[in-house]
Amino acid sequence: FNTVNDWARPFRMPDFFFIAGLFLMRRIDRPWRSYLDTKVVHFAYFYVLWMSVWYIVRIPVYIDRMGLDNALLLYPMSFIEPLGSLWFIYMLAVFFVVAKLTRPLPVWLVWLAGAVLHSLQIHTGWRVIDEFSSRFVFFYSGFVFAPYAFSIASFFTRQKVATIVAGLVIWAVIEGWLVFGGHSLLPGVSLALGFAGTGAIITAGILLSKTRLGEPVRYLGEHSLVVFLSYFLFSVAARIIMLKTGLVSDPVVLITLATLAGITGPVIADLITRNTPLFFLYRRPYAFRLGGMRQAAPVRRQGKTTPAAGGN
């Protein structure tokens, strides 16, 4: 798993931010009030909520590792320095604000600045600064190159499965050669691998859409925020249960099952809580929307609940 993780590192987060930026064109010219509600307050709400959950669950560990005073200080600091694996939700809000603020500037200038920041490989020790420098170019590229990305995706949907598989195999081999050959962090190479990997992930999604896995993958894609929010909770819980009970001892099986729990657990929890007082775990209540915005709580239509977890 460490080998796979190293191999995927150049594109694992770039593809997430690129895809997040793909649909920005439809929203970036909205009035600031509407934009802030759906692209900043939305993610801020879920970050604060699940950061608080994570902090409460982990507080005994924090006290043991850093002492009571530092553990108590960690919570307010988490509003400045993102806590744990929720940092990407924090950064999404930052990226959306920066994209809106730089809207009057030439897109090539903003993109070039992002590419330079990425290539500099800045490491200050502050996650917001470091991750912004490393990831913003991919988010902004999703916004800038969206028409081309959709055209390429449309092209691949018309290709034969064998052609797509062959292309993915070639990409995987080149990716591995550059990563394990120690070239993946070179200026320009890191950027290229991020974009190549993003393209490969999109292509793999197209390939899966041609199989019976297409519908489950589509569902997970539509509810990706739900999965990302509480993946850590279900994954860690599953790992602890398996270790404490001795049900699983093989590390590969353990990690695989914990990963599956981290993916399926949030989806099931969302379905269970959707029409209960706990709906706020995955759906932003009206009270946490800027005034005048559309209701975000579950809305019943013909006996069904309308999902409202995603930003508009």
Q: Do residues 163 and 116 lie in contact, with contact meaning Cβ atoms separated by under 8 Å?
A: no
E-state strands within 118-180: none
Whole-model pTM: value is 0.86
Q: Do residues 41 and 164 lie in contact, with contact meaning Cβ atoms separated by under 8 Å?
A: no
Give strand pairing partners of 304: 301
Q: Delimit the domains of the chain by residue range.
A: 2-220, 223-306
In terms of phi and psi (left: phi > 0; alpha: psi -120 to 50; beta: otherwise), the region of 42 is alpha
**Sequential pLDDT tens for the chain (312 residues):** 678 888 988 898 899 899 999 989 888 999 999 999 999 999 999 999 999 999 999 999 999 999 999 999 999 999 999 988 899 999 999 999 999 999 999 999 999 999 999 999 999 999 999 999 999 999 999 999 999 988 888 888 888 888 888 999 999 999 999 999 988 888 889 999 999 999 998 888 888 877 777 788 888 888 888 998 999 889 989 988 998 888 887 888 888 899 999 999 999 999 999 899 999 999 999 889 886 545 444 444 433 333 334 555
- Identify the CA nearest to 312 among candidates 15, 33, 34: 34
Using DSSP, state whether 301 is helix, strand or coil.
strand
Rg (CA), the chain: 20
- Identify the CA nearest to 103 among candidates 28, 26, 32: 28
- Identify the CA nearest to 17 among candidates 165, 131, 180, 166: 131
- Distance of alpha carbon 241 from alpha carbon 54, whole angstroms: 18
- Identify the CA nearest to 97 among candidates 52, 146, 153, 139: 139
- Distance of alpha carbon 239 from alpha carbon 138, whole angstroms: 32
* CA dihedral sign, ordered 136, 137, 143, 148: negative
- Distance of alpha carbon 265 from alpha carbon 218, whole angstroms: 17
* CA dihedral sign, ordered 213, 219, 222, 226: negative
- Distance of alpha carbon 34 from alpha carbon 294, whole angstroms: 10
